């Protein structure tokens, strides 16, 4: 998919033709669209194709008068009853007259960026550095948004720990841990790109743009710190989760073992008196010649079971 935007009166608006100071958006582009942009804007073909590799890492390259910046953005993916997060690359290509972005799919970051820039009504595509920094800021803001959502999910899982006996919650937390790993790796890669931009080797920054770059770095470092803290919290929570599951299973097994011991008492007695051989005490009072022998045996068995129950209760086996 190919979309073209221009800036009019500080707003980003769709336009039909490629001209100076336009922003070209490519979402999962076809070969025909790539060829069209390549020929029209004279862009190096590898610059257009690098961001289409899912495993491409954040970096910055400069070839003649063209600059390629690859960043990774968070990508929520629905999986069953919960959402997991991955990251995917987005390429920003700067030419002398145009800005081109390339992404594997139509990601919501672009709509959020357009809404964010149109909110202030002072954007101009003739300032590519401002575009890059504000786009970077939108990406970092989206990371922080998803990280805060993860934090709320972790708190919900913590509340369920004491009732957990199955693997479903554990698998959800494992998916969250994987998402945080993706976030942490991608954020650190994006931070390296920011450091290279700050060096001035690739772009010349005005004083205002340097201040904006510092703001973006602060936000990005905050996102990195949040990802690290949430990873530690989640790791500790998963350890506690495993311990609580084992403890709950031990409590249940202890209860079942105690009940099995209590129930075994009448089983042993009734099995003993069910034999067709002479038995102990059968010729002695109070069992000899009494019509209530059956009830007396039952009472004795019941007393033994009650005593065992009281003992197990005091020792907190039940």
- Domains of the chain: which residue ranges? 2-243, 249-314
φ, ψ dihedrals at 100, nearest 5° = -125, 130
Residue 224's pLDDT is what?
A: 92
User: Helix (H, G, I), strand (E, B), or coil: what is residue 82?
Assistant: strand
Tell me the Ramachandran region of residue 10: left when phi exceeds 0, alpha when psi lies from -120 to 50, beta otherwise.
Answer: left
At the topology level, CATH places domain 2-243 in: Beta Polymerase; domain 2 (3.30.460)
Res 144: pLDDT: 92
Distance CA 166, CA 138 (A): 39
* pLDDT confidence of residue 23: 87
Query: What 3-state class would DSSP assign to 127?
Result: coil
Residue the block writes with tokens 């409590």: 251
pLDDT, averaged per 10 consecutive residues of the chain (318 residues), comes to 82 81 87 88 88 89 88 82 82 88 88 81 79 89 90 77 62 82 91 87 83 90 91 81 77 85 84 66 64 73 86 77
**What's the pLDDT at 276?**
67
How far is the C-alpha of 91 from the C-alpha of 51, rounded, in Å? Answer: 5
Helix (H) or strand (E) holding 196: helix 168-198
User: What is the reported pLDDT for 45?
Assistant: 87
Bridge partners, 25 (sequence order):
3, 101
Distance from C-alpha of 235 to C-alpha of 240, rounded to nearest angstrom: 9
């Amino acid at each position: 998919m190919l979309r073209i935007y221009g800036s009019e009166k500080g707003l980003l608006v769709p336009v039909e033709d490629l001209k100076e100071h336009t922003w070209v958006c490519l979402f999962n582009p076809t070969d025909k669209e790539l060829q069209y942009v390549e020929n029209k804007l004279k862009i190096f073909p590898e610059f257009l194709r690098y961001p289409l590799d899912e495993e491409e890492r954040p970096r910055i390259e400069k070839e003649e008068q063209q600059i390629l910046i690859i960043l990774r953005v968070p990508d929520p993916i629905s999986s069953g009853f919960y959402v997991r997060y991955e990251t995917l690359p987005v390429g920003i290509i700067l030419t002398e007259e145009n800005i081109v972005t390339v992404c594997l799919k139509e990601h919501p970051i672009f709509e959020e960026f357009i809404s964010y820039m149109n909110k202030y009504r002072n954007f101009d595509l003739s300032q590519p550095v401002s575009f890059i920094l504000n786009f970077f800021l939108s990406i970092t803001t989206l990371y922080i948004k998803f990280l805060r959502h993860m934090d709320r999910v972790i708190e919900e899982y913590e509340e369920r720990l004491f009732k957990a006996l199955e693997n479903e919650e554990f698998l959800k937390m494992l998916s969250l841990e994987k998402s945080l790993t993706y976030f942490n790796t991608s954020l650190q890669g994006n931070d390296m790109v920011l450091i290279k931009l700050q060096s001035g080797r690739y772009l010349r920054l005005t004083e205002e743009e340097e201040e904006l770059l510092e703001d973006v770095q602060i936000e990005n470092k905050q996102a990195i710190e949040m990802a690290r803290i949430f990873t530690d919290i989640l790791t500790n929570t998963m350890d506690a989760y495993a311990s609580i599951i084992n403890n709950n299973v031990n409590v249940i097994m202890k209860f079942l073992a105690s009940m099995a011991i209590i129930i075994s008492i009448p089983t042993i007695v009734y099995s003993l008196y069910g034999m067709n051989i002479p038995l102990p005490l059968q010729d002695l009072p109070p069992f000899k010649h009494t019509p209530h022998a059956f009830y007396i045996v039952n009472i004795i068995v019941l007393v033994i079971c009650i005593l065992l129950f009281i003992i197990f209760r005091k020792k907190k086996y039940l």
